[in-house]
Amino acid sequence: MCDGPTEEFERVARLCGYRRIAGIDEAGRGPLAGPVVAAAVVLPARCRLSGVDDSKQLSEGERDRLYAVILEHAVGVGIGSADVDEIDRLNILEATRLAMRRAIDLLAPSPDYLLIDAVTLPGIRISARPIIKGDSISLSIAAASIIAKVTRDRLMTLYHEMFPEYDFLSHKGYCTTGHLQRLARHGPCPIHRRTFMPVQEVIVAGKRESARRMSATLFEQ
Task: Using CB atoms within 10 Å of the CB of residue 46, give its burial: 0 to 12 exposed, 13 to 18 middle, 19+ buried.
Answer: exposed
The whole-angstrom separation of Cα 32 and Cα 59 is 22
Q: Is residue 157 part of a domain?
A: yes
DSSP 99-150: HHHHHHHT-SSPPSEEEEES---TT-SSEEEEETTGGGTBHHHHHHHHHHHH
Q: Which residues contact 15 (CB under 8 A, 6 or more apart)?
A: none
pLDDT mean across residues, the chain: 93
- Inter-axis angle of helices 139-162 and 60-73, nearest 10: 120
Q: What is the total count of domains within the chain?
A: 1
Q: Is residue 175 part of a domain?
A: no
Tell me: pLDDT of 218 over 50: no
pTM, two decimals, is 0.92
pLDDT of residue 127: 98
Strands 76-82 and 127-131, sheet pairing: unpaired
Which DSSP symbol is given to 34? Answer: S
User: In 3D, which of 79, 56, 209, 81 has the Cα closest to residue 133?
Assistant: 56
List of E strands, the chain = 21-27, 36-42, 76-82, 113-117, 127-131
pLDDT of residue 206: 66
Q: Is residue 219 part of a domain?
A: no
| Per-residue model confidence as pLDDT tens digits over 60-100 | 999 999 999 999 999 999 999 999 999 999 999 999 999 99
Q: Is residue 125 part of a domain?
A: yes
Q: Is residue 201 part of a domain?
A: no
Residue 55: what residue type? S
| Per-residue model confidence as pLDDT tens digits over 112-126 | 999 999 999 999 999
Tell me: pLDDT of 192 over 50: yes
| Structural domain for 56, as ranges | 8-170
Q: Is residue 48 part of a domain?
A: yes
Q: Is residue 19 part of a domain?
A: yes
> What average pLDDT does this structure show over 166-170?
98
Q: Which residues contact 44 (CB under 8 A, 6 or more apart)?
A: 73, 74, 75
CATH of the domain at 67: 3.30.420.10
Q: Is residue 197 part of a domain?
A: no
